[in-house]
Structure formats: structure tokens, C-alpha cells
Amino acid sequence: MVLNYEDYLLTIWEYSESFGIATEMDISRRLKITLPTVSEYVGKLSAMGLVEKSGRSVKLTRSGKRVTIPVVKAHRIAEVFAMKFMEVEWEEVHKAVMDLEHLFSGTYGDNLYRNLGYPEKCPHGNPIGDINSGSRIAPVAVREGRYVVDRVTLEQIETLKKLSGISAYPGSVVFLRKEGLVTTLETENGSFVLSDIENQSIRLRRAGPNKI
């Protein structure tokens, strides 16, 4: 995969949406490139007025957000296309479109969006039309109880495989169990312990009181 500025901006958006901020180390791990390479490229984005740096932390400027929103939308539209027409697996679709999404911008992206029937969300539940909508409730911030999976803001394949393994897709009912510092996500098909990242990047919405 050949990286360009859109890949950096998308990654910064994902981490900012999930955790409030991105770091150069986050970008390095996500894109599988060296930290010096990230620092150099982030410097270029900063010179372009798209990001602001504070130590190793990076955030999008107002101009950066305006540039990034179409990138995020194109990525999510590409995910819908890949899953619907290419039959890419749910947990694989984010990775599969990292090159494809660059083709789906501008008029091409608008045409594809229309021909797909203007989907409201990507396969992982993240909004396409109103990019800033969607639940902001993370497991770390709520009590034990019954919830519905709303979306996955940081689409890591490891997390997506875990969710797929217990059939915890967007719209699925789950039970969040908390024992001390350990949080477990359960469905009738199984359970797994949430990592620190998953505790913040999975989004839930409230469901009724009945347990699974």
C-alpha cells in the first residue's frame, strides 16, 4: 500500500474520534511505518495548516477537518461497496479498501454513494451522511448492563475479528459485565475481555433491562 496524506488524515481522525487525540506513535503503529517517517510527514501536514502538534500529540485544525471529512466519507462509502459487491468479510473490509478509497472521491464518490442508495452508515456503524452523528457512549464510561452495539470508531482488524467471533455487529444486543478493572462483552455466542483501546473505541447505545 502506497501511503499519501489522506491515509494520515484518516488515521488522525479515527484516533481523535476514539480517544480525543492522536499521537505520532498511534499513526506509526496504525500505518506500520517508522516513527521518524511519521514525524517528518506530520511536519509537512503542519506546514500545510492541516494539523497542530504538541509534543508527540497531533490534532486536526479546522482546515484539516474540512479536508478530512470527505476522506472519511469516501472510506466509509468504499467499505459499503466492498462488502456489498465484492463480498469482503465484515472484519476485513476496512483494510481491503485502504487503496480503493482513493478512487472514490469527488464526482466518482458522489456517483457511487447515489448508486448505493445513500447508505447512512458504513458496515461498522460509522455515519456517512452526518459524519459527526452516532453514539459517543464507550464501555469505559458506562455501568454494567445491557446495550446495543452502535459502531466501532477505530476499525482495528483484531477488534473486528473479536466482535465477529461473538456475532456482536452494529445493532446486536450485548451485555457489558464489569469486575473491578476488567470489562467483558458478552453475547449468547460467547464473550471476550475488552482491551484498553476497545474499551474506548467501541460505541454502545442503551437497551432494555433484560440480560442476555
CA distance 166 to 85: 25
| Average of per-residue pLDDT values in the chain | 92
**Structural domains for the chain:** 5-60 (1.10.10.10), 77-115 (no CATH), 139-206 (2.30.30.90)
Determine the pLDDT at residue 98: 82
User: In the sheet that 57-60 helps form, which strands lie side by side, from edge to edge?
Assistant: 22-23, 57-60, 51-54
- Count other Cβ atoms within 10 Å, centred on residue 36: 10
- Adjacent-strand bridge partners of 182: 179
Task: Give residue-wise pLDDT tens across range 82-135.
Answer: 999 999 999 999 988 887 777 777 788 889 999 999 999 999 999 998 998 889
pLDDT at residue 80 above 50? Answer: yes
Q: pLDDT tens digits, residue range 173-191?
A: 999 999 999 999 999 999 9
